[in-house]
A and B are shown apart, each in its own frame.
Chain A
């Protein structure tokens, strides 16, 4: 018999600007997590996703993107945060959906795939892209934090966390 799945675990809609959003005490009974964000920022903000408050250089990523001006690019990085978006979030809405696989496993690094759209204040730099990322840690993910680099996530920004059964 089919098992109903894809459940909303938690959502946040900012009533006032905030520098950080955290999902903590994440239910460990699902297979994958899906984090969906539509955000605006008070200034140019790079979304910095971190697991279990780990701010070490343990996050690896590879991305590809296409820009409104016709350029394409692919980049790889090692960083102290999980890359899920290819441009800074500014005053226009930017969105991404990041899927985190086998997040409760303790025998695997955590893999993630992100699809993202960034709307820049300069329209020629609007972009769409995808990211594959890895957190080089076998710990189960119990919390996810979304920090910004400079300003704050502005009023009206939405953050949703879903669980997908396996």
Chain B
């Protein structure tokens, strides 16, 4: 039988609320949010996250990557499509035998990362976690820090910092697989981290 009328007289132990939340806590967005993910179903020469300006309500960005290159083990990236020679890097890296520090300036891309190539053991991927700090700032040069590594054939583990010597807000991020691209199965996930 259809319900045609409902009155409080027919209910027991009911509560009345003046708010639609009905006693529940309001939803509060997290401080660390997934924004976008790209997973390659075939090889690709590069991957780009564009439109980052729309995420300016976040203070920082994090990019988590599970990667395997083509013919090259070099991983680098550019910001805002800028290939002028204004990138610098510092890196400390272990290769299974020794620890070494490295630095470069006046580069046309931000680099210093390494990944397994297509010639390495099948199924092996490397990982990079990269934080782009204060990416919307227009008063500071942008700095990026990262942790990376892979335990596949050529062992690598390292910490990298990159400088983009520009005060432009970051609106796009483009990876470069060192000319060899990236293999199928690689994943690139972009996260936003709230500020104050």
Contact = CB atoms under 8 A, between A and B. Distances in A.
A147 interface: no
A62 B95 contact: yes
Interface in A112-166: 112-113, 115, 130-134, 136, 138, 164-166
A111 B155 contact: no
Contacts of A134: 124, 150-152
Nearest to B124: A109
A31 B39 CA distance: 11
26 contacts: A4-B30, A5-B191, A31-B37, A31-B189, A62-B95, A62-B156, A64-B92, A65-B94, A72-B99, A74-B94, A74-B95, A99-B129, A101-B127, A102-B66, A108-B185, A109-B123, A109-B152, A113-B127, A113-B148, A130-B158, A132-B126, A132-B149, A132-B151, A132-B155, A136-B121, A166-B189
Contacts of A136: 121, 123-124
B103 to A, nearest CB: 17
Nearest to A132: B149
Interface in A96-112: 99, 101-102, 105, 107-109, 111-112
B3 interface: no
B71 to A, nearest CB: 20
A85 to B, nearest CB: 14
B123 A108 contact: yes
B96 A138 contact: no
A5 to B, nearest CB: 5
A110 B118 CA distance: 17
B35 interface: yes
Interface string A33-52: 00000000000000000000
A107 B93 contact: no
Contacts of B126: 111, 132
B125 interface: yes
Given A62-B150, A113-B147, A131-B157, 6 more contacts: A63-B94, A73-B99, A132-B127, A136-B124, A164-B64, A166-B189
A5 B62 CA distance: 13
Contact of A76 (B30, B121, B151, B185): B151
Interface in B14-37: 29-30, 32-35, 37
* Residue picked from B149, B158, B159, most chain A C-beta under 10 Å: B149
A64 B151 contact: no
A3 interface: yes
A37 B81 CA distance: 40
Interface in A61-77: 61-66, 72-76
Nearest to A164: B64
Interface in B159-194: 159, 185, 187, 189, 191-192
Nearest to B193: A6
Contacts of A23: none
B32 A5 contact: yes
A2 interface: yes
Contacts of A130: 94, 147, 149, 157-159
A76 B96 contact: yes
A5 B34 contact: yes
Given A5-B34, A132-B127, A62 B185 contact: no
Nearest to A134: B151
Contacts of A65: 94, 99
